[in-house]
Amino acid sequence: MSQIKIPSENGNLLLTKSTKLVGIKKHVEGAELDAVESNVMPNLGGFEVVTLNPAEDVDEALDQVRAREDVAIGTHVYFAEGDNRPVIATGIIYCEMAEGVGKEERQVVLDAFALEILEDREDGTIVCKVTERSPNPLKVAAALTKLSMVQKAYPDLDVPLDQYFMEPRDGLLPNAWHLENTGRVSDVPNFPLKPGADAKVRAAWRRMGNLGSSNVVVAVIDNGFDLNHPDLRGKVVAPLNIASGGNDIPAGSGHGDHATPCASVAVASANGSGLVGAAPMARLMPLHGLTYSKFLTERMFTHCIRNGADVISCSWGTIDPRYRPGSEHERAIRQALTSGRNGKGCVVVFASGNEGREYINYYAAIPGVIGVGASTSSDTHASYSNRGQGLSVVAPSDGGWPIIAARASWDQGNPGMPVNKRYYVDGVDRGPFYKHFGGTSSATPLVAGVCALILSANPDLTSAQVKSILESTADKIGNAWDYDSRGYSTKYGFGRVNADRAVAEALRLRSIGTTQPTQPTAPTPPVVTVPTQPTRPPVNTTPTTPTAPTTPTAPATAPSTPPVSGTNLYRFSVQGIGTAGFGLQVSVNNEFALVLREVEELERKYRLPVIVHISTLNGRTAFRIMMGPFATQAEANTAKSKMVSMGAAEPWLRALSGV
């Protein structure tokens, strides 16, 4: 996924290039283009927003359209972080030069990017527009801001303002009944669903006014990631091959295909095509490999802690008492629950299991873990979903109508079914990238995505508080007698997850400056019955207490202010120099004290000489700070390369004869 960070008046703006939408300006308005698949928006920044041939890469398709004689301009469309409204750069750039930069110097900058001046305003703002020889206006603005000669450069953007928040336009979103259930699926006319039997995810998006935060990372531990899938591409951070300890994620039928749909349910991108996950802005940390090994279990959860996972989704486990998690397994998981997220704890979500038993996956029953069961499109209990103490909530999955999810490119589908039903239960082809999916394997990443939305709304919550909010805001479904006096059910946990209510509670707590829920849900201790001849695996009533991390001893008296570095005393000598050779202009300043500090810092950091040119502009003294002098342009360029390699903004090369 192509991203670009551009300057704006409200700080840097992260834009992601759409994989489907482009902007077109035609020579003849209203003319039809056979290359256009669909018209999305008639006018945005002077462009028509359209989709092109879906079988082609968007860059290649756009290049082909640009080459047509009937097309004046073609441009990419972007999405801003946390928003699904299309963004287009109009080609206009608002620029302001640094103080002391003359018109000749300014023109050199503009000529370098082939910019044309539209207005030269009295306040110093230059309104420019790109020409046919200019690069992409977003790239021009980003490059201009790196020049010390430029004070600011903002690209002019257009975005629809008819509504504050636009929901995703992805084509399969109407099939995602688990996000919002209207009582039917658009292409399934003869299978009624129960309106409202959903996770209320789209309502949560509307409440937040966005699709969550890209600062939130969801780790999915599973086998078979197709990271080139259109809805997962470009989202990956810190991948791990659990077996090797490396970052190589194997692909192909020999490595499974389960991880791809699981990941998509949680975090599939809102990119204008395909489907959308519960938290489409969240990033994906893929961990390939399922294992009972204590050592590898420790490796996987330690990796999540060290690499910033916020939520960990696990659609796997065991009900076999021979392979129940031991103390090392539990310690690794509890370490994530308490030490992840800089001490706030990772939110850990496990599936209850699909065996239809009266006890749940041992991993899901570990205290602090969110154990997830499945409900159906009719808001009933899915018969395959395990029941029992330790279950936190249920979430929509199959058992009525299945949900739709991503499929790996090597996924062979169900070989026991006719060819047309290997991926879709009704035989209706919804494209080569997707399939019907379900089980607690699907319900679990859905809850993980909801937890990512909760943390997007309030990143200060601990893992225990996220669990409490999730349970206390769940909807009671089924019969009243399914629940005890605490509102708990071994069939539904605390109920069917409600993302909208959970997000509302997270936002409420954030607004009042506390992260403590009003009525936190206490963890449910397991109720144990061990018959003489057990019909289910026995449950450990004395879970191993993890070893508490050693708390470093705090100093007796903490300093009230951080130590101050630097000095207010300077030793310098002043020597006039000739105006021959070259300098590298770094900045222009008006305050002598700041000039002294900057000169000291530049000399210390780059080990290069520094010169200052003093002039008067509009009655004010201006100090132009430059590295140099350098006898030749080659020497100056060598120094410039050194500075840039050390992280400096690119200085401006200038002949000293012109100062």
Catalytic residue among 222, 226, 475, 500: 222
**For position 160, what pLDDT does the model report?**
65
Least confident range of 74-88, 277-291, 455-469, 488-502: 74-88
Decide: 79 and 53 in contact? Cβ < 8 Å.
Answer: no
Sequence-ordered list of residues with C-beta below 8 angstroms from that of 142, at least 6 positions apart, any chain: 4, 5, 6, 7
Mean pLDDT, residues 178-185: 90
Q: How far apart are the first and last CA of the chain?
A: 45
The CA distance from 246 to 243, in Å, is: 8
Catalytic residue among 76, 229, 258, 381: 258
Q: Where are the alpha helices (DSSP H) in 406-540?
A: 440-457, 463-472, 499-511
Select the highest-mean-pLDDT range: 61-70, 286-295, 498-507, 594-603: 498-507
Q: Catalytic site residue 34? A: no
Fold of 196-511: Rossmann fold (3.40.50)
pLDDT, one tens digit per residue, over 82-140 is 667 788 888 888 899 888 787 877 888 888 889 999 988 888 889 999 998 888 899 89
Mean pLDDT, residues 169-198: 86
Decide: 408 and 226 in contact? Cβ < 8 Å.
Answer: yes
Mean pLDDT, residues 294-308: 93
CA atoms within 13 A on the CB side of 344: 19
Residue 33 has which token pair? 């283009």
> At 248, which amino acid appears?
D
Same fold, 196-511 and 582-658: no
For residue 581, the 8-state DSSP code is S
pLDDT band at 222 (very low <50, low <70, confident <90, very high): very high
Decide: 260 and 225 in contact? Cβ < 8 Å.
Answer: yes
| 629 preceded by a cis bond (ω within 30 of 0) | yes
Map residue 23 onto helix, strand or coil: strand
Mean pLDDT, residues 55-69: 84
Specify the pTM.
Answer: 0.61
Q: Catalytic site residue 441? A: yes
For residue 238, the 8-state DSSP code is S
Q: Catalytic site residue 258? A: yes
Domain segments of the chain as ranges: 3-158, 196-511, 582-658
The CA distance from 401 to 192, in Å, is: 9
Q: Does position 559 have pLDDT exceeding 50, yes or no?
A: no
Least confident range of 23-37, 357-371, 553-567: 553-567
Q: Could you give phi then psi for residue 655, rounded to 5 degrees?
A: -75, 130
Q: Where are the alpha helices (DSSP H) in 168-316?
A: 201-208, 259-267, 294-306
Mean pLDDT, residues 536-556: 37
Mean pLDDT, residues 522-543: 36
pLDDT, one tens digit per residue, over 187-208 is 888 899 999 999 999 999 999 9
> At 235, which amino acid appears?
K
Higher pLDDT, 628 or 617: 628
pLDDT, one tens digit per residue, over 410-420 is 998 888 888 88
The CA distance from 122 to 486, in Å, is: 69
Other C-beta atoms lying within 10 Å of the C-beta of residue 253: 12
Residue 268 has which token pair? 């599939």
Other C-beta atoms lying within 10 Å of the C-beta of residue 499: 30
CA dist list (Å): 524 to 297, 369, 557: 25, 11, 41
Fold of 582-658: Alpha-Beta Plaits (3.30.70)
Q: Could you give phi then psi for residue 396, rounded to 5 degrees?
A: -60, 135
H or E element in which residue 348 lies = strand 347-351
Q: Does position 620 have pLDDT exceeding 70, yes or no?
A: no
> Residue 110 burial (CB < 10 Å; 0-12/13-18/19+)?
middle
Number of separate helices (H) and strands (E) present in the chain: 12, 22
Between the CA atoms of 562, 566, 569 and 573, what dihedral angle is there, to the nearest 10 degrees?
A: -170
Q: Does position 652 have pLDDT exceeding 90, yes or no?
A: no
**For position 267, what pLDDT does the model report?**
97
For residue 245, the Cα-to-chain-centroid distance in whole angstroms is 24
Sequence-ordered list of residues with C-beta below 8 angstroms from that of 20, at least 6 positions apart, any chain: 51, 52, 54, 58, 271, 272, 273
The CA distance from 33 to 28, in Å, is: 11
For residue 8, the 8-state DSSP code is -
In sequence order, what are the beta bridge partners of 361?
A: none
For residue 186, the Cα-to-chain-centroid distance in whole angstroms is 29
Fold of 3-158: Alpha-Beta Plaits (3.30.70)
The CA distance from 458 to 434, in Å, is: 32
Would you list the DSSP string of 134-159?
S--HHHHHHHHTTBTTEEEEEEEEE-
pLDDT, one tens digit per residue, over 312-330 is 999 998 888 878 888 888 9
Q: Which of 211, 138, 214, 202 is nearest to 174 (CA)?
A: 202
Q: Which of 532, 533, 504 is nearest to 518 (CA)?
A: 504
> At 387, which amino acid appears?
R
- The set of long-range contacts for 38-41, using a CB threshold of 8 Å and a minimum separation of 24, is 40/86, 40/169, 41/86, 41/160
Residue 571 has which token pair? 């030793």
**For position 189, what pLDDT does the model report?**
82
Q: Does position 170 have pLDDT exceeding 50, yes or no?
A: yes
**For position 71, what pLDDT does the model report?**
83
Catalytic residue among 213, 264, 441, 472: 441
Decide: 120 and 167 in contact? Cβ < 8 Å.
Answer: no
Mean pLDDT, residues 238-266: 92
Strand order of the β-sheet with 620-630 is 610-617, 620-630, 582-589, 652-655
